[in-house]
Amino acid sequence: MSLSALGAAALRRLEAETAHDLTIRALSAGLGPRQRTPEDPILATTVAGLSLPNPIGLAAGFDKNAEVHAPLLRAGFGWAECGTVTPQPQHGNPRPRLFRLAEDGAVINRLGFNNAGLDAFAGNLSRVSGVVGANLGANKDSEDRAGDYVTGLRRLAGVPAYFTVNISSPNTPGLRALQSRDALDDLLGRLREARTGSTPLFLKIAPDLSEPELRDVVDSAVGHALDGLIVSNTTLDRPDGLRGAERTEAGGLSGAPLFKRATQVLRTVAEMHSGLTLIGVGGVASGADAYAKLRAGASAIQLYTALIYAGPGLVGRIKRDLAARLRADGFASVAEAVGP
């Protein structure tokens, strides 16, 4: 067992959110791992104008307040997404609100956008180096949730490498309703008016949308000149066969059981041939998983839950395996492998 895996095993002995908080503190103190070898050139790619040393990114939810993006990039991620951040600080839902399903390689969370707010986030993100994005959310008690996204976009303008509009978290009541066509057109229209410069803007969607709903999302995203979609957030579904003792807890399910559903949604969206850049998220725990996302239509990949069980050494293993798979199938680059 690697040192990173031993560290992950030790953290799993603690309550889930306590372990997460300690990990953030350790990374802030400079105790994180560092990649010691050069990036394999076959992994370099460009996504929505962003030059990535490799396509493996950290998904939003880990670094909510943009405190540890630098050590995460040093650990080998090609890019990182911080947040979700809301205009005003909020505590989120009552604890416990984060549950491991170790037998399933999964997590259930109902955190509820707990974060320190835009001012703290902006101060931390101002020190960014590398491709780091900001995942925007709305406050639970906001009377104008679409306005909250506009506030975030304006407050952070010129700071992150890209923005993600997160309207697909299941843990803020009513938030997913913003994915309906009329509400989405209103939101994206207001964001389009507020955009300045050429910073890419992505929309993160749920894996629980029907095919007609996905078509509406795609059409709205294209119509309002978004750069791409992040597919997908956590699911409210509970697939058959879950074994974890806390599998009935309320919240969004992430990790291995999400992989099949999220990848199928990704493929469905890719086959709509919208021209949107797609980012594949959901259940990635190996080079094979990352490669499957590329072949299904993703230009880059994000992960988070698998790190809880495998530790930070997982990133290097995924990159080595992905590079080998690209070469074995005759591809000279990540971009060449993007399907379908």
Active site residues: 169
**Who's near 73: CB < 8 A, 6+ residues apart?**
79, 80, 129, 130, 132
C-alpha to C-alpha distances, 17 to 56, 61, 124, 131, nearest whole angstrom = 24, 12, 21, 27
**DSSP for residue 184:** H
Which sign does the torsion angle of CA 189, 190, 196, 202 carry? negative
Q: Where are the beta strands (DSSP E) in the chain?
A: 45-47, 50-52, 56-58, 79-85, 98-101, 106-109, 132-136, 162-166, 201-205, 228-231, 252-255, 277-281, 300-303
d(CA 90, CA 139) in angstroms, rounded, equals 7
Could you tell me how many helices (H) and strands (E) the chain has, helices first? 12, 13
* Spatial contact of 148 and 139, defined as CB atoms under 8 Å apart: yes
d(CA 62, CA 138) in angstroms, rounded, equals 18
d(CA 285, CA 254) in angstroms, rounded, equals 11
**Who's near 217: CB < 8 A, 6+ residues apart?**
179, 184, 203, 205, 209, 229
d(CA 98, CA 78) in angstroms, rounded, equals 27
d(CA 309, CA 188) in angstroms, rounded, equals 37
